[in-house]
């Protein structure tokens, strides 16, 4: 059974909680005691229907204020796949939360209210999904029951969104007309929209092809931890532990190690239960090499003829996430890229991106909370980075405030 990570975007008003509630309920992932608990709370508040938003709003402040503060993770499974939902709130701290949820997602669902059509918010969601390179995007045109299941209305929204999406980089775009409240096209096919010939949402989630989303071409293995037991049973064992960030590795493959540039050959790919024939992106393994060369955490194992760029100068898009303080040229921050920490100085803020209009503000010199900007940086040590468009693992980084240790930005490396 495969694992699919999805992010949902939209506000409570779009019916997002209802949609998630229905997916969980119809896949029998809501338990009786959870349902009883939210029924009691809904009743206490004088609400006539069961408020499924209470399922995801877990914190006291959220329940009291009726808002969603943070990304909530939900789980459900069908016989075909297991799903992890990163449910991102639509109101406060929107960008920060959606970027967080989107960073690990294979698929995003963007909800659009059929009555309201494409709002600025929907454009923002789609932009962030494309910026974070979520491979699959589903536009859930919800509340079709409130527009009499009108095909023309659906087609109108589809046309408008498709035109907007042409400015973005979206690999796979799917539109589904639905009513989350009534269950049309969520799990079961709608009886009210026989003009729609596509999949239901759940069927799409179960079938969408995700196996080729991983980069299986460019071998990238950031060394995470060196395993040296130095025990009687394993006096000379020296293995490089890590999670494969790209490509396929096999014993016998010639590899190059950065930054030293030395080459060697993989003798064994180990797991706790024994050696394996090959390791591909996403797997945590331990690599052994034929030659004794100096390799430590933060080094990168790749192929001699296919290496990431080794550079101290980085061009990147960043999303600023600090509650306090702005990003400015000249600022020094800690940077974590793969398994390597360094310090970075912001050389230049090239432009701030207005995520509503997608226009560039080149006059802006400082970047505030939830804003997105293109910057250049100089790092104290070289990073072994690929463009984020080519590899989401070796193309991403975080920036950390050295005084507070707080993570203040998410970054995506650009092609130079």
Partner 1 sequence: MTTEQMSHVQALESEAIHIMREVAAECERPCLLFSGGKDSIVMLHLAIKAFAPAPVPFPIMHVDTGHNFEEVIEYRDRRVAETGVRLIVASVQDAIDQGKVVEETGPRASRNRLQTTALLEGIESNRFDAVFGGARRDEEKARAKERVFSFRDDFGQWDPKAQRPELWNLYNPRVKPGEHMRVFPISNWTELDIWHYIRDENIDIPMVYYAHKRQVFQRDGMWLGVTPFMTLMDDEVPEERLVRFRTIGDATCTGAVDSAATTIEQVIEEVGATRITERGATRADDRTAEAAMEDRKKEGYF
Within residues 144-173, the interface with partner 1 by CB under 8 A covers: none
CA distance 138 to 201: 9
Please state at what angle helix 120-131 crosses helix 151-165, rounded to 10 degrees: 50
Instruction: Judge whether 24 and 55 are in contact, CB under 8 Å.
Output: yes
Within residues 290-309, the interface with partner 1 by CB under 8 A covers: 297
> Contact between 370 and partner 1 (CB under 8 A)?
no
> Contact between 224 and partner 1 (CB under 8 A)?
yes
Residue among 71 and 138 whose Cβ is closer to partner 1: 71
CB-side neighbour CA atoms (13 Å) of 49: 5
CA distance 344 to 378: 6
Binds partner 1 (CB under 8 A): choice among 158, 189, 336, 343: 336
Binds partner 1 (CB under 8 A): choice among 1, 152, 232, 235: 1
Percent helix / strand / coil, the chain, rounded to 5: 20, 35, 45
> Contact between 321 and partner 1 (CB under 8 A)?
yes
* 3-class secondary structure per residue, 242-259: EECCECEECCCCEEEEEC
Within residues 178-217, the interface with partner 1 by CB under 8 A covers: 210-211, 216
Within residues 249-278, the interface with partner 1 by CB under 8 A covers: 270-273, 276-278
Residue among 302 and 321 whose Cβ is closer to partner 1: 321
Instruction: Judge whether 89 and 125 are in contact, CB under 8 Å.
Output: no
Binds partner 1 (CB under 8 A): choice among 60, 166, 252, 292: 60
Binds partner 1 (CB under 8 A): choice among 231, 292, 305, 363: 231
The CA angle 345-346-350, to the nearest 5 degrees, is 160
Please list the residues that pair with 141 across neighbouring strands: 112, 177
CA distance 66 to 89: 12
# residues contacting partner 1 (CB under 8 A): 79
CA distance 251 to 269: 7
The stretch near partner 1 (CB under 8 A) out of 173-181, 228-236, 301-309, 325-333 is 228-236
Query: Both tokens of residue 205?
Result: 């989630």
Binds partner 1 (CB under 8 A): choice among 70, 156, 315, 326: 70
Within residues 9-38, the interface with partner 1 by CB under 8 A covers: 28, 31-34, 37
Binds partner 1 (CB under 8 A): choice among 10, 90, 177, 242: 242
Residue among 15 and 411 whose Cβ is closer to partner 1: 411
């Amino acid at each position: 059974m495969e694992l699919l990570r999805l992010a949902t975007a939209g506000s409570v008003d779009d019916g997002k909680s209802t949609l998630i509630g229905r997916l969980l309920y119809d896949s029998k992932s809501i338990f009786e005691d959870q349902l009883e608990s939210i029924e009691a709370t809904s009743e206490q508040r004088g609400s006539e229907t069961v408020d499924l938003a209470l399922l995801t709003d877990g914190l006291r402040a959220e329940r009291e204020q009726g808002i969603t503060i943070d990304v909530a993770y939900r789980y459900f499974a069908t016989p075909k796949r297991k799903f992890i939902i990163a449910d991102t709130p639509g109101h406060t701290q929107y960008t920060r939360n959606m970027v967080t949820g989107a960073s690990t997602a294979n698929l995003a669902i963007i909800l659009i209210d059929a009555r309201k059509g494409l709002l600025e918010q929907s454009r923002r969601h789609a932009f962030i999904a494309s910026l974070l390179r979520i491979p699959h995007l589903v536009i859930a045109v919800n509340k079709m029951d409130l527009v009499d299941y009108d095909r023309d209305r659906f087609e109108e929204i589809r046309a408008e969104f498709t035109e907007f999406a042409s400015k973005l980089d979206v690999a796979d775009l799917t539109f589904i007309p639905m009513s989350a409240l009534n269950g049309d096209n969520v799990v079961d096919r709608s009886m009210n929209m026989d003009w729609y010939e596509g999949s239901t949402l759940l069927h799409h989630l179960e079938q969408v092809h995700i196996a080729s989303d991983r980069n299986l071409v460019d071998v990238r293995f950031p060394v995470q931890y060196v395993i040296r037991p130095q025990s009687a049973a394993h006096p000379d064992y020296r293995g490089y532990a890590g999670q494969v960030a790209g490509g396929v590795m096999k014993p016998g493959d010639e590899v190059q190690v950065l930054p030293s540039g030395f080459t060697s050959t993989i003798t064994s790919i180990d797991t706790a239960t024994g050696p394996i024939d090959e390791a591909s992106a996403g797997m945590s393994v331990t690599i052994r090499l034929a030659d004794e060369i100096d390799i430590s955490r933060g080094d990168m194992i790749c192929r001699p003829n296919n290496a990431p760029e080794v550079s101290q100068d980085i061009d990147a898009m960043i999303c600023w996430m600090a509650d306090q303080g702005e990003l400015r040229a000249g600022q020094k921050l800690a940077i974590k890229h793969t398994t390597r920490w360094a310090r970075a100085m912001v050389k230049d803020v090239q432009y701030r991106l207005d995520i509503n209009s997608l226009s560039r503000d080149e006059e802006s010199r400082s970047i505030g909370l939830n804003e997105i900007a293109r910057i250049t940086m100089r790092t104290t040590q070289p990073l072994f980075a690929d463009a984020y468009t080519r590899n989401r693992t070796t193309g991403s980084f975080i920036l950390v405030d050295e005084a507070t240790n707080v993570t203040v930005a998410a970054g995506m490396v650009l092609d130079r």
